[in-house]
Structure 1
Amino acid sequence: MEMLGLVVAVFVFAGMVKGALGLGLPTVAMGLLTIVIAPFQAASLLIIPSMITNIWQLFAEGRVWALVQRFWLLLLGIMVGTIFSIFPTLSEASGKTSEILLGSMLVIYGIYGLWVKQLPDLRAYEKWLSPLIGYLGGALIVSTGVIIIPAVPYLQSLRLKRDDLVQALGLVFTLSTICLAIYLQLHSTANMQIDYRLAWAAVIPALLGMWLGQKLRYRIPEQRFRRFFFVGLISLGAYMLLH
């Protein structure tokens, strides 16, 4: 019951962040859960709620096939990266190694979010950058459970319209979650198993959190909410690195 209560609280909060900003559910949930449970188990709890919320985000607008046609090299890179990761994976690394990688990603992303005001325009380099960014993102998701770095800054640097950016993020997050689910299923053991009951129990809190976050979006200025979010990521990442 204590674990169920923790999962509910974490996913309500993580869903609220995603509802307000369009991203952040796996990042926040993974960061908080790995404080008390192993990274492999934490990642397994993300699969079902992440998949449902990402599909919701992906199909909220049209143009899905157009985005697939544009970003197929990025998507291919993600798949290759999950198969041939250059980093210690969730099943291979010790819990501390995964925590260090994840904590570092949270700190880097938090600093990026606070201080990078204008990203370079990378549209001219998209064809050769997409497979590289995709590979790094795929390699990191099977090492940390999240794909925020470098996928999110890269997509933001392509000067997409707001709705296209949110939908492109949904596309990347959906594919990466599928790849992570396959990876976890193939590498589950007696000591590292996927708890589908808890994963399903996280769905309603995550959706409730998204609904609250969408309401919150219209009550709190987005820039202020983003500032709180990124400061929180830096604090959480620093804690994971130092404790």
Structure 2
Amino acid sequence: MLAIVVAVFSIAGMIKGTIGLGLPAVSMGLLSLVMTPFQAATLLIIPSMITNFWQLFAEGQVFKLIKRFWPLLIGIIVGSIWSVFPTLGHGSFKSEALLGGMLALYGVYGLCAKNMPNLAPQEKWLSPFMGYLGGALTVATGVVVIPVVPYLQSLHLKRDDLVQSLGLAFTVSTICLAIYLHLNPVKDIPIDYKLSLIALIPSLIGMWLGTKIRYRIPEQKFRKVFFAGLVIFGGYMVSHQLGWI
């Protein structure tokens, strides 16, 4: 299990270092093949928290972004408390299928990202709604991707502001997920903070390698391969969990 965790977080960290996102999605997707999504989410807490803080505070203007996106952040918090979806580890709902669907949608979005409309004029009322859905899906799948990532990218922010905004949303979502997992334990599935801390090391090494890779291969080519892989992988998870294959 230790070898699997190290390998998964090394790959996920490398992808995050290369394109700026993907650590939770890749980690949850791969780990859910060998453990429950609830257990996988517990391992994600410390690596996600540290790497998101790194991303958030890499540049200035943090308080400026909080002032702008506080409705989105409040929505994430509310969604994680009162989720309309079945949550991780509870009930008979196959959260693996929902996670697979999220990954597939994420992949489709990534392949079509250049065609995203400009939603900045609707930001005032869209932010709390998108935040709520993001928070609700975070405690349901362990991943904050849809719709927060495409929504922030549709606002046509400057590159540094976009990276920090994603880091801000990811940080708040990870905190909410950690609180949820702590307050809603699943019988016979302990929260392994020690293994989560160990997972931080390959995550950081992977991020460092990813920054090196970023300058050696065309980013757009890498993104296409990555997102196409998510579509295939997510589709497989959905089909497998629903008994189609």
Q: TM-score range by the shorter chain?
A: over 0.9
Q: Distance in 2 between matches of 1:93 and 1:151?
A: 26
Instruction: Give ranges in structure 2 of 5+ residues lacking alignment.
Output: 241-245
- For 2:230, the equivalent position in structure 1 comes to 233
Do residues 153 (structure 1) and 150 (structure 2) align? yes
Note the aligned Cα RMSD (angstroms). 0.9
Instruction: Give ranges in structure 1 of 5+ residues lacking alignment.
Output: none
Amino acid at match of 1:166: V
Is the contact made by 2:9 and 2:203 (CA closer than 8 Å) also made in structure 1?
Answer: yes
SS of the aligned residue for 2:188 comes to: coil
* Map 1:99-114 → 2, pairs under 5 A: 99-114=96-111
The CA deviation at 1:173 is: 0.2
* Map 1:5-16 → 2, pairs under 5 A: 5-16=3-14
Deviations 1:86-121 (A, max 9, x none): 000003244x61111110011111111113422111
1:116–1:56 Cα change, 3 Å: closer
Deviations 1:53-90 (A, max 9, x none): 00000000000000000000000000000000000000
- For 2:200, the equivalent position in structure 1 comes to 203
- For 1:181, the equivalent position in structure 2 comes to 178
Amino acid at match of 2:13: G
SS of the aligned residue for 2:29 comes to: helix
Determine which of 56, 75, 78 is the counterpart of 2:76: 78
Q: Which runs of 4+ in 1 moved over 4 A?
A: none
- For 1:59, the equivalent position in structure 2 comes to 57
SS of the aligned residue for 1:23 comes to: coil
* Map 1:101-180 → 2, pairs under 5 A: 101-180=98-177
Q: Percent identity?
A: 66
Q: Which TM-score applies when normalising by structure 1?
A: 0.97
Q: Distance in 2 between matches of 1:12 and 1:93?
A: 32
SS of the aligned residue for 2:98 comes to: helix
SS of the aligned residue for 1:149 comes to: coil
Q: Distance in 2 between matches of 1:88 and 1:49?
A: 25
Deviations 1:201-225 (A, max 9, x none): 1000000000000000000100001
Q: Which TM-score applies when normalising by structure 2?
A: 0.96
Q: Distance in 1 between matches of 2:91 and 2:212?
A: 39
- For 1:29, the equivalent position in structure 2 comes to 27
Amino acid at match of 2:8: V
The CA deviation at 1:188 is: 1.2
- For 2:86, the equivalent position in structure 1 comes to 88
- For 1:45, the equivalent position in structure 2 comes to 43
SS of the aligned residue for 1:188 comes to: coil
The CA deviation at 1:190 is: 3.4
SS of the aligned residue for 2:114 comes to: coil
Q: Distance in 1 between matches of 2:22 and 2:193?
A: 22
The CA deviation at 1:235 is: 1.6
SS of the aligned residue for 1:111 comes to: helix
